[in-house]
Structure 1
Amino acid sequence: MAKTWAYARASTKSQNLDRQIIQLKNFVDDSFIMCDKASGKNFDRPNWDLLNRVLDQGDTLIVCSLDRLGRNHKQMRDIWKDLFNRKVNIKILDCDLLSTNYEEYENDSTKLLLINVAFEVFFYLAENERTNIKQRQAEGIQVARTMGKHLGRPPATFPPNWKEVYVKWNRKEISQNKACLELGISKNTFKKLKSQYIK
């Protein structure tokens, strides 16, 4: 018997899945919602891997948006096509145009052609927009640098008690950890300030 599943993903452990889960609960019971918190660095998705093995022909997978399926456009495309070829129906809540129902396409070559064209157009536009965003960011950074503006995190500043604590640390009267505690800064900041101080 065909089942309906839902999948939610947050890109970082600090992000909240509640908004996605609230949306998905309109379609499936809690027990059929699988969730992962996967960073862009390692993209470890144990619940997606499990769900992907369980999904069978005729099942339906619901996601809030297509980007919950993958970390980049190529991965999203590969997963979407793999599910489509396995006859798993896909419901994408924020882009119904890309939702699929295999029974509708199985005997209608025109609909099958249209969904594939729509999918490729969607990805072309998404890739094009991503390229434009990167170009605008690069141009903005160049303009800011030309105007002498500092980009990124503000430079670290010396705490008022820096000299006193640094002298104690330099004489090995206190450890680096103790120095950081007294200064109220991290080890990385301590190293940066130390390199600036001894220049």
Structure 2
Amino acid sequence: MIGAIMKNRIYGYARVSSADQNLDRQLDALERFPVQTNLIYADKASGKDFRRPQYRRLLRRLREGDVLVIKSIDRLGRDYREVIDEWRRLTTDKRVAIVVLDMPLLDTREQPNGITGTFIADLVLQVLSYVAQVERENIKQRQAEGIASARSRGIRFGRPMIERPENYRSVVQSFKGGGVTRRDAAALLGVSPSTFDRWRRADSTIVDRPPFNRSL
């Protein structure tokens, strides 16, 4: 009798990353599964604010043997590391089954033959995580190559250099001779001491750079 009262429940979770996005498509898919409307939790969370209060409420409600249905795997987190952490929390710590509607292989419910889909689902997740990591590394490499190529063509990055005042050289000479302090020199030029330091470092780099030999 107690077992009948405490039977496992099917929950749904939906999330969008900004307040102006629509949850309807996810909610419709969850209801078609079907998940009862009163057992669906939904969050509208921005990338900066990922507290997800409804997801936290859902975690407190989930019990061993319950089923959690989501439309896509990225509803669990912002990146695959976070997705895998949540996946393990749900399947290993809370012993909840997960069904991902957009990816039928990610279904950890017990099948009629007594075999669970947990092993296959975990394997698929690891492959997806690896692919995502490789893609991130490829993006970083392409960015680095693009920056290097742009720099070789003379394109400069970062904040634009402030043009030096006409009295810059005379102030630098006075500073080197001990006539003014670093702070006074910066004040005479109308810039901050850090900008004055940056200008002097740039000057020393230009002076120390060996001349380009076209005959090589």
TM-score, normalised with respect to structure 2: 0.58
Kindly provide the amino acid, as one letter, of the partner of residue 94 in structure 1. D
- Tell me the distance in 2 between the aligned counterparts of 1:16 and 1:139: 38
Match runs of 1:137-148 below 5 Å: 139=145
> Which of 90, 93, 99 is the equivalent residue of 2:107?
99
Kindly provide the amino acid, as one letter, of the partner of residue 100 in structure 2. I
1:79-134, Cα deviation, whole Å (9 max, x unpaired): 11111112211010111212211x34xx759x654433222112111222233344
Partner of 2:97: 89
Partner of 2:61: 54
* Cα distance, 1:146 vs structure 2: 7.4
Instruction: Pick closer, same or farther for the CA change 1:144–1:7 going to 2, 3 Å.
Output: farther
- Tell me the distance in 2 between the aligned counterparts of 1:146 and 1:31: 60
- Tell me the distance in 2 between the aligned counterparts of 1:7 and 1:127: 26
Match runs of 1:124-139 below 5 Å: 124-136=130-142, 139=145
Instruction: Pick closer, same or farther for the CA change 1:148–1:2 going to 2, 3 Å.
Output: farther
> Which of 5, 15, 29 is the equivalent residue of 1:9?
15
Name the % identity.
44
- Tell me the distance in 2 between the aligned counterparts of 1:141 and 1:31: 52
Partner of 1:41: 48
- Tell me the distance in 2 between the aligned counterparts of 1:144 and 1:18: 44
Match runs of 1:1-199 below 5 Å: 1-27=7-33, 28-85=35-92, 86-101=94-109, 103-104=110-111, 108=115, 112-136=118-142, 139=145
Q: Please, which runs of 5 or more residues in structure 2 have no aligned partner?
A: 1-6, 158-216
Structure 1 residue runs of 4+, over 3 Å off? 111-115, 133-149
Instruction: Pick closer, same or farther for the CA change 1:25–1:115 going to 2, 3 Å.
Output: closer
Q: In angstroms, what is the RMSD of aligned CA positions?
A: 2.9
Q: Which has the higher contact order (CA 8 A, sep 6+)?
A: 1
Contact conserved, 2:69 with 2:98, CA < 8 A, in 1?
yes
- Tell me the distance in 1 between the aligned counterparts of 2:21 and 2:10: 25
Kindly provide the amino acid, as one letter, of the partner of residue 35 in structure 1. A
- Tell me the distance in 2 between the aligned counterparts of 1:63 and 1:22: 11
TM-score, normalised with respect to structure 1: 0.63
Q: Please, which runs of 5 or more residues in structure 1 have no aligned partner?
A: 152-199
Query: Whose Rg is larger?
Result: 2
- Aligned residue pair count: 149
- Tell me the distance in 1 between the aligned counterparts of 2:32 and 2:150: 46
